[in-house]
Chain A
Amino acid sequence: MSYLEYQVKYVPSGFRKLLYLNWPIVFLVSAVCGAGFVMLYSVAGGSMDPWVRPQMQRFGLGLALMLVVGLVPIWFWRNMAVLAYAVSLILLGLVEVIGVERNGSQRWLDLGPMDLQPSELMKIALVMLLAAYYDWLPLDKVSRPLWIVIPLILIAVPAFLVLRQPDLGTTLLLVMGGGAVLFLAGVHWAYFASVIAAGIGLITAVFASRGTPWQLLKDYQYSRIDTFLDPSQDPLGAGYHIMQAKIALGSGGWTGRGYMQGTQSRLNFLPEKHTDFIFTTLAEEFGFLGASTLLILYALIILFCIASALTNKDRFASLLTLGVAVTFFLYFAVNMAMVTGLAPVVGVPLPLVSYGGSAMLVLMIGFGLVQSAHVHKPR
């Protein structure tokens, strides 16, 4: 694999690369993380502890990682794709064996100073591997069944492991993110139509298996689906969180109740207020203006990624950039849909804002890859 394959006319080298970074993305990502600090400070009741300080440290680390990853040539990362996927898969397997269990889910590996969530790593690793795969695969073979089975297996294996933790949200993200890369790589429409049909079949199976010894989801996951379909049936039980989240969101109005004035989060009506439901606090305290500003920041990140990908003639680079963007999009779209009552509560954090180390670092590495693709694109 030669550098010349890209018909490179000019590629920056050394610290000149810094000038060619996709700086808007750096700023947008920092801005979103900043919003996260502000909100974590608020939900902690006006305190740096216990969430803001570690989150800031991780952001610093993540920013450094993003730059480092961004300055490393993109072809290096293409070569690393298989390794990254393999490592992530092994870690996922380890979770199965020696994972730390919290709230009935076994998702974490205890790494001493911090817990690692391998399923987060896998999100990026899967995108990398799929992008590399389609970069390697001749175009005329893309839609051949045999060459489709391979990426499907690559998606299915980690998805299955994550589902067993169980982590429905991440499973969906993996499957949808992987599927998006397949779509971008040009796999024939018919496959997606059949996958959608299969999806419907799976949903049917999930519901059909309920109550039987081999039921596919845990009881709490079923109850979440039930309450999503009809939150009012159990306002004090499982529907409580959805109801309270909507109340918090709605009570924000146009301009919100003021920073640190949100009664819903202040008085503990909100669940998981520093992780999955942090957006409700933001919406409560900063209103529609604050909420839509964050939404626009997210949308801009996506747009800059797409713009970068469209101007990149390297197949791996653009697939990777788009794949990271889709993963990121799925994160915040599912989270926001969840807290606004448009989707069931599946436990997906708000990217870069929710408290959580693995997700933050993995996303920063993902954006590092986007930077690398941007810096090293053939010009």
Chain B
Amino acid sequence: MKRGPKETEASARRISRRALLLGGSQLALVGVLGWRMRSLQVDQGDTYRSLAERNRIDIELLPPDRGLIYDINGVVLAENEQFYNITITREDAGDVDAVLAKLARLIPITEVQMARTREELDEVRGDMKVTVAERVPWDDVSRVVVNAPALPGVTAELGVSRLYPQETDMAHVVGYVGPVSDYDLSRIDDQDPLLRIPRFQIGKTMVENKLERVLRGKAGTLEVEKNAAGRVMRELSRTEGEPGSDLQLTVDAQLQNYVQTRLGEESAAAVVIDLEQGDIAAIGSAPSFDPNLFVRGISQADWDALNERDKDPREHHRPLAAKTVQGAYPPGSTFKMVTALAALEDGVVEPEETVRCLGQLDVSDVRFHCWKRGGHGNMNLHESLKQSCDVYYYDVGQRVGIDKIAAMARRLGLGERHDLPMSAITAGIAPDKDWKRRERGEDWRIGDTVNASIGQGYVLASPLQLAVMTARIATGRSISPRLVRSVDGVEQPSGAGADMGLNENHLRRIRASMFDASNHRRGTAYRTRIVAEGMQMAGKTGTSQVRRITAEERAQGVWRNEDLPWHRRDHALYVGFAPYENPKYAVAILVEHGGGGSATAAPIARDIMLQALHGGTPPLSAYPASDRPRIEDQQRRLDLRDIRPGRTADRA
């Protein structure tokens, strides 16, 4: 169409105006974009730069090797075991089902594992490793590695875990580790980033728990550059951490093995203290359990078994409890040394002074019985300990008074929480008048003193405390128990202790009485004496009631333990030291509801003591001739483990 010059001019003018307007706004927008870039890149550049660094650089923790735990001879009690897990990555695998099917033909994979793997694969990001099988044996690992080309996305991942080669022997000493839980994190005040590593193992009980920080070591760090998918592209820098410190315990694994084996399935505890430095040579609690179960994640069946779900609660032997330090028992007659020493030191009783035992004593209208119904007749201090006369102590106890008895008990290590790296250590009770008012809100009554003087009533002690008491009587020094001999080769403070300041004559009398209790024909533990020259043991039996014997029962004569249900039978105890002339070990034995101390606890004490003194199975000649056939049979039946000292584990 034809357009005149005028029209063209008009059109051009309008276009010019609008073009300038549009061009102007375009330039304005360009200005806005430029301003935006300036603000992002220049004004906030530092912020975004650091965000980019954080995006890119990730600090990975290098878990340190946990310190190893050895026994006194260098036998490994806890080590780090390397193992392989088989993992799969969805992104690399491609056809996950096909790869898993191929994998299942190479290594055994259960249906449960398969289902769990598929479930996890659906949940996590595509580049995350999902564990198919844990702790795969080396043969299976090598099969997977050899077939790697056919198994895209499948890798064998090296893991490290705790291993307790002594199994049940050390469960109640070393304890065990387990993956850190939310509960652990809420309970402990520990900022160590290692604890944030999933499934990082920390000590849960006993030495592993109490010396966690010593054993754990310090994390190393690995700075890596990662891409958006979280895949590591390269290492930037690496700082090695510090491995945890190695511990050497005072325990002798071989003796410990004997102790655990000898205690067997009894609900019992045994403590052996080396008198030189207070070293705990063995500290066994039975029944025990395999700590490795907990490290690997305990199965419901095992857990139920350890909690004795299928048993009457009154029959429970509590394998998970360390009765040596966690159990508080009435010490019974083993407490009589305390009452006797308190009386001698106080001077209210002369050693040769006699008390007439008629089998019972009435104190403020309450009748207290001696274990020997017919009575012991005239008893002096020596005879009263040797024959374990109760009435003598009823009388002497009242004369000394409970406060002095309690003070002596505390000097001998009772009623005090000994500082060992073990869990839930009980303080026991060495009761006095203040204690009763404080704890029970009642006044102390004279009957309480009578009961306490023979280790009944309110008095409670753990087997460890009884062993310490015996060690202090045997040496006159205030021995304190030591469980850790050295940390990274650095010797720990000795528990030898200073002289307690007790009159040596008094101690000598007590020891002599204990010697006769074990070696005199009329002593309570005569049948379980040691006959080997230079190894003879001095000791004291104890039979502590777990309930009051009613007058009716006494009248009916029903107080034979065998007639009672297990949970109402007396606890059997024995404390002793040997050799008498030059004491080397103190021992304390407790058998829960074991009946009489002389019948049940004393034989165990003798076997353990001989084992300790010999550093192995003792010759039969150490036993009285009449016992030898039985002992020989027993030695043959005990299934001891072959423990070789000096073995060092390879550090992972």
Q: Which chain A residues have a beta carbon within 8 Å of chain B's beta carbons? A: 1, 5, 7, 136, 138-139, 180, 183-186, 244, 246-254, 263-264, 267-270, 283-284, 287-288, 291-292, 295, 298-299, 302-303, 306, 309-310, 313, 315, 318-319, 322, 326, 329, 333, 336-337, 340-342
Bound-state CA distance A136–B9 (Å) is 15
Question: What is the bound-complex CA distance between A184 and B8, given in angstroms?
Answer: 15
What are 11 A-B contacts defined by CB distance under 8 Å? A7-B8, A186-B11, A253-B45, A267-B55, A269-B56, A295-B30, A295-B37, A309-B15, A310-B19, A318-B12, A322-B22
Contact A5 B37 (CB under 8 A): no
- Chain B residues bordering chain A, tally (CB within 8 A): 48
Q: Shortest CB–CB separation between residue A223 and chain B, in angstroms?
A: 19
A186→B7 contact, CB < 8 A: no
Residues of the B chain whose Cβ atoms lie less than 8 Å from the Cβ of A184: 15, 18-19, 22
Interface presence of B647 (CB below 8 A)? no
Which of A180, A183, A267, A283 makes the CB contact (< 8 A) with B41? A283
Given contacts A183-B18, A313-B8, contact A246 B30 (CB under 8 A): no
In the complex, which residue of chain A has the Cβ closest to the Cβ of B32? A342
- B51 at interface (Cβ–Cβ under 8 A)? yes
Q: What are the 7 tightest A-B residue pairs by CB atom distance, in nearest-first order?
A: A250-B48, A251-B52, A267-B227, A253-B45, A288-B41, A269-B228, A251-B49
Contacts of B47 in A (CB 8 A): 250
Partner among B1, B15, B16, B48 whose Cβ is within 8 Å of the Cβ of A247: B48
Is the Cβ of A288 less than 8 Å from the Cβ of B52? Answer: no
Q: Give the distance to chain B from A305, nearest Cβ to Cβ, in Å.
A: 9
Count A-B pairs with CB separation below 8 Å. 158
- Judging by beta carbons under 8 Å apart, are B56 and A263 in contact? yes
Q: A263-B55, A333-B30 are in contact. Are A254 and B37 (CB under 8 A)?
A: no
Let me know if B225 is at the binding interface, CB within 8 A: yes
**Closest Cβ of chain A: how far from B91's Cβ, in Å?**
13
The smallest C-beta distance from A189 to any residue of chain B, in angstroms, reads 10
Docked-complex contact B30 and A136, CB < 8 angstroms: no
Chain A: minimal CB distance from B229 (Å): 7
Please tell me if the beta carbons of A306 and B19 are within 8 angstroms of each other in the complex: yes
Among residues of A, the one whose C-beta sits closest to the C-beta of B8 is A313
Contacting pair A319 B40 (CB below 8 A):
no
Chain A residues with CB below 8 A from B143, complex form: none
> Which residue of chain B has the shortest Cβ distance to A270 in the bound complex?
B228
Q: Which residues from chain B contact A253 at a C-beta distance below 8 Å?
A: 41-42, 45-46, 49
Report the Cα distance A292→B39, complex, angstroms.
Answer: 12
- Given contacts A247-B55, A267-B225, A268-B228, A287 and B30 within 8 Å (CB-CB): no
B36 at the interface (CB under 8 A from A): yes
Contact between A244 and B49 (Cβ–Cβ < 8 Å)? no
Bound-complex Cα distance A253 to B33 (A):
16
Inter-chain contact A303/B23, CB cutoff 8 Å: yes
Task: Give the Cβ gap from B293 to chain A, nearest Cβ, in Å.
Answer: 39
Contact A306/B23 with A139-B10, A288-B38, A299-B30 known, Cβ cut-off 8 Å? yes
Asked if B226 lies at the interface with its beta carbon under 8 angstroms from chain A, I say yes
**Cβ contact within 8 Å between A250 and B26:** no
Is B582's CB within 8 Å of the partner chain A? no
Find the residue from A7, A252, A337 having the highest chain B CB count within 10 A: A252
Residues of A within 8 A of B56 (CB): 263-264, 267, 269
Query: B2 contacts the other chain (Cβ, under 8 Å)?
Result: yes
Q: Which residues of A contact B23 (CB under 8 A)?
A: 302-303, 306
Q: Is the CB of A264 within 8 A of B15?
A: no
Closest to A183 in B: B18
Q: Are B52 and A247 in contact (CB under 8 A)?
A: yes
How far, in angstroms, from A291 to B53 measured CA to CA in the complex? 21
B44 within 8 A of A: yes
**Are A269 and B49 neighbours in the complex by a CB distance under 8 Å?**
no
Given A180-B22, A264-B52, A268-B227, A249-B40 contact (CB < 8 Å): yes
**List of A residues within 8 angstroms of B53 by Cβ:** 263
CB distance from B42 to the nearest CB of A (A): 5
Is the Cβ of B19 less than 8 Å from the Cβ of A333? no
Q: What A residues does B20 contact at CB under 8 A?
A: 306, 310
Task: Report the Cα distance A270→B227, complex, angstroms.
Answer: 10
User: Taking the nearest CB of chain B, how far is it from the CB of A142, in angstroms?
Assistant: 9
A248 to B229 Cα, complex, angstroms: 16
The distance from the CB of A68 to the nearest CB of chain B, in whole angstroms, is 27
A287–chain B nearest beta-carbon distance, Å: 6
- Shortest distance between the CB of A280 and any CB in chain B (Å): 10
Q: How far is the CA of A251 from the CA of B53 in the complex (A)?
A: 9
Task: Flag whether B146 is at the interface (Cβ < 8 A).
Answer: no
- List chain B residues, Cβ under 8 A from A313: 8-9, 12
Indicate whether B5 reaches chain A with its CB closer than 8 angstroms: yes
| A327 to B192 alpha-carbon distance, docked (Å) | 59
Asked whether B102 is an interface residue with its Cβ less than 8 Å from the other chain, the reply is: no
Question: Is residue B34 contacting chain A, with contact meaning CB distance below 8 A?
Answer: yes
Query: In the bound complex, what is the Cα–Cα distance between A337 and B30 (angstroms)?
Result: 10
Are A254 and B41 within 8 A (Cβ)?
yes
Question: In the bound complex, do residue A250 and residue B41 qualify as a contact, i.e. CB atoms below 8 Å apart?
Answer: yes
Docked complex Cα distance between A368 and B123 (Å): 54
B15 touches A186 (CB 8 A): yes
Q: Which residue of chain A lies nearest to B18 when distances are taken between CB atoms in the complex?
A: A184
B225 neighbours in A (Cβ, 8 Å): 263, 267
Expressed in whole angstroms, the minimum distance between the Cβ of B621 and any Cβ of chain A is 78
**Bound CA span A302–B37, Å:** 20
Give the docked Cα–Cα distance between A32 and B10 (Å): 36
A268 — which chain B residues lie within 8 A by C-beta?
A: 227-229
Q: Flag if A309 contacts B19 (CB, 8 Å).
A: yes
CB within 8 Å of A: which B220-237 residues: 225-229, 233
Q: Say how far B259's CB is from chain A's closest CB, in angstroms.
A: 57
Would you list which residues of chain B between 223 and 262 have a CB under 8 Å from chain A? Answer: 225-229, 233
A310 contact set on B, CB distance < 8 A: 15-16, 19-20
Residues of chain A lying within 8 A (CB to CB) of residue B36 = 337, 340-342
Note all chain A residues with C-beta closer than 8 A to B613. Answer: none
Closest to A307 in B: B23
Q: Is B311 among interface residues, defined by CB-CB distance under 8 A?
A: no
Please tell me if B548 contacts chain A, counting CB pairs below 8 Å: no
A180, A269, A284 interface centre (most CB from chain B within 10 Å): A269
In the complex, A269 Cα to B41 Cα: how many Å?
Answer: 18
Distance of A368 Cα from B294 Cα, bound (Å): 78
Contact B40 A246 (CB under 8 A): yes
The verdict on B29 contacting chain A, using a C-beta distance below 8 Å, is yes
Query: Which B residues are CB-close (under 8 A) to A180?
Result: 22
B5 touches A7 (CB 8 A): yes
For the complex, is B199 an interface residue (Cβ under 8 Å from A)? no
Known contacts A249-B41, A254-B41; A340/B12 CB under 8 A: no
**For residue B52, which residue of chain A has the nearest CB?**
A251
User: Once the chains bind, are B22 and A250 in contact (CB under 8 Å)?
Assistant: no
In the bound complex, CA of A263 to CA of B227 (Å): 9
Decide yes or no whether B148 CB sits under 8 A from chain A: no
Verify if B3 is at the interface (C-beta below 8 Å from A).
yes
CB contacts (< 8 Å) of B14 on chain A: these are 139, 186
Closest-CB distance, B127 to chain A (whole angstroms): 11
A299–B52 CB distance below 8 A: no
Using CB atoms, name the residue of chain B closest to A328.
B26
| B44 partner residues in chain A, CB cutoff 8 A | 250
Q: Which of B156-199 contact A (CB under 8 A)?
A: none
Kindly list chain B residues whose C-beta atoms are within 8 Å of the C-beta of A302: 23, 26-27, 30
Minimum CB–CB distance for B287 against chain A, Å: 51
Excluding A5-B2, A184-B22, 6 further A-B contacts by CB distance (< 8 Å) are A1-B1, A185-B15, A263-B55, A288-B41, A313-B8, A319-B15
B22 / chain A contacts, CB cutoff of 8 Å? 180, 183-184, 322, 326
Q: What chain A residues lie within 8 Å of B30 (beta carbons)?
A: 295, 298-299, 302, 333
A215→B3 CA distance, assembly (Å): 48
List chain B residues, Cβ under 8 A from A337. 33, 36
Contact B33 A336 (CB under 8 A): yes
Q: Is the CB–CB distance between A247 and B37 below 8 Å?
A: no
Quick check: B233 and A267 within 8 Å, CB to CB? yes
Say how far A256's CB is from chain B's closest CB, in angstroms.
9
Check if B41 sits within 8 Å of A318, measured CB to CB: no
The contact string, 1 if C-beta is below 8 Å from chain A, for chain B 48-83, is: 110111011000000000000000000000000000
